[in-house]
Structure 1
Amino acid sequence: MNSNDKLGKLPPQNLEAERSVLGAMLLEKGTIPKVLQALPDSDNFYSEIHRLIYQEIIRLLNKNKPVDIVTLKEEFRKKNKLKDIGGAVYLADLVNSVPTTANVDYYAQIVREKCILRDLLKAVASITSLSYDSSQDLDVILDKAQSFIFDITRKRIKSPVV
């Protein structure tokens, strides 16, 4: 595939895996610690709606409130944000779209890998931009490139999927 074929493509993501992770968290409390370890923050999600839902799940947990479709829907309703995430119907769809909660580790791994690939694309874009900047010293560019890749590698190692 040449570089022109890549133009206009969506960044790496798997919305089905994202939905399955969130739906599993709403269905079975035991999945939550596994997901939190694999996906420590909402930036792992490609979908803005999924990021918002994940952030609200974290808030519920931090308040020691139960996490399920009813409590989540109520929190979004109180904040007048239910429509922002697709409404109660979308939350129900999340729960109904989970093939099985037993595979939440694998779904989270998919989400994590796609996030790392997006991070890698951002790093490549930054490195490319630096490479075209004639005012930059080669050693500085190489140091920054190495730093970008190291940060991505460290992020990958920091929160492995259990």
Structure 2
Amino acid sequence: MDLIDSSMPSWVVGRHVVRLERPDLVSVAFRGATSAAEAEKIRDVYIAIGEQVGRFDVLFDASDLVFLEAGARAAWTRGGKVYPLRHVVCFGANFPTRTVIMTVYRAGRLLAPSIFDFHIEFVPTEQEARNRLAVLGRQARHSCAPA
């Protein structure tokens, strides 16, 4: 998968869109229900991006996410390559959606903790998500800075 074909590469997976905004930020917008095949494809896109740019943050738009099929939930937690994610900040998710996302995340952390080596949190709006990712990025850079 070549990521350098445009200034802002993107992938359409069903009705969902994954976009590389900058080397350390990927935005993903889920629209409607998510099938197992779509979850696997999005996971493959994440892995391919990580192989080319290293670990990155995810801006996760769940405002139009309707449902994660059981197969999709299982696909996210299946073993394999480590997710190259640092932080995932999700916005627009209603309570049932947040519950499903956190259930999948916690299951992944229990079943494959080395694969789910990232932080996830929820905020109401896209701007708050972007602001939160900026803060998390500064904190990460500060904690890695030599004393």
**If you compute each CA radius of gyration, which structure gives the higher value, 1 or 2?**
1
The structure whose residues are more often helix, as a share, is 1
Higher relative contact order (CA 8 A, sep 6+): 1
The structure whose residues are more often strand, as a share, is 2
| Same-fold status (TM-score > 0.5) | no
Q: Taking structure 2 as the reference length, what is the TM-score of the superposition?
A: 0.28
Q: Taking structure 1 as the reference length, what is the TM-score of the superposition?
A: 0.26
